[in-house]
């Protein structure tokens, strides 16, 4: 049988550092999808859109008009609730998260995505480096947080550092 183990990097911590760019893993307490027709109105105070800079510990990423991704602990029960008309799913293991920071962070992201800090958007969803990602600024204007499907993160990471 052929051994293909050397063809792919083993999963592990994602870290990269240069004079003007730092990329590192982020561990979030919880990532929860919440879907429903009025979900944006329910989370209006916590809602993050592009290119807002997030400074809160818990917040809601606007994905589309009927879905948000809650970051942080929540007391919502998983499943569908007829009472609230919301569907809730814990997706903490589905997305790997990295922070990209430094003076060259935005320029590096622009190599794999069409981005404009002057163009406001109601959603943090973007197509970057061949994958659908959630991208927003976190903490500082030059720090970007990227949520990528776990299975695609290695490819996105390699393109970011390449």
Please state, rounded to an integer, the average pLDDT across all residues of the chain.
94
pLDDT at 3: 73
CATH number of the CATH domain containing 73: 3.30.1360.120
Q: Look at residue 121 and tell me if it is in a domain.
A: yes
Exposure class string for 108-129: b at 16+ Cβ within 10 A, else e: bbeebeebeeeeeeebbbbebb
Q: Look at residue 23 and tell me if it is in a domain.
A: yes
At residue 13 the predicted structure's pLDDT band, cuts being 50, 70 and 90, is confident
Kindly report, residue by residue over 19-68, the tens digit of the pLDDT.
999 999 999 999 999 999 999 999 999 999 999 999 999 999 999 999 99
Q: How far apart are the C-alpha atoms of 83 and 112, rounded to whole Å?
A: 42
What predicted TM-score, i.e. pTM, was given to this entire model? 0.91
List the domain range (segments joined by +) for residue 127: 18-161
Q: Look at residue 3 and tell me if it is in a domain.
A: no
4 pLDDT higher than 90? no
Q: How far apart are the C-alpha atoms of 162 and 159, rounded to whole Å?
A: 5
Give the mean model confidence (pLDDT) for residues 95-122: 97
Q: How far apart are the C-alpha atoms of 23 and 37, rounded to whole Å?
A: 36
Q: Look at residue 81 and tell me if it is in a domain.
A: yes
- Beta-carbon count within 10 A of 23 CB: 21
């Amino acid at each position: 049988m052929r051994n293909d183990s050397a063809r792919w990097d083993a999963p592990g911590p994602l870290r990269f550092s240069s004079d003007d760019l730092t990329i590192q893993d982020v561990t979030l307490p919880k990532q929860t999808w919440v879907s429903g027709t009025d979900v944006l109105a329910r989370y209006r105070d916590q809602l993050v859109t592009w290119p807002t800079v997030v400074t809160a510990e818990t917040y809601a990423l606007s994905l589309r008009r009927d879905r948000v991704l809650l970051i942080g602990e929540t007391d919502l029960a998983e499943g569908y609730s007829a009472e609230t008309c919301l569907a809730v799913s814990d997706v903490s293991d589905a997305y790997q998260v990295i922070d990209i920071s430094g003076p060259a962070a935005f320029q590096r992201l622009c190599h794999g995505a069409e981005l404009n800090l002057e163009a406001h958007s109601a959603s943090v969803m973007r197509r970057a480096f061949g994958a659908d990602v959630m991208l927003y600024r976190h903490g500082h204007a030059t720090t970007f947080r990227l949520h990528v499907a776990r299975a695609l993160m290695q490819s996105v990471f390699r393109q970011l550092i390449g």
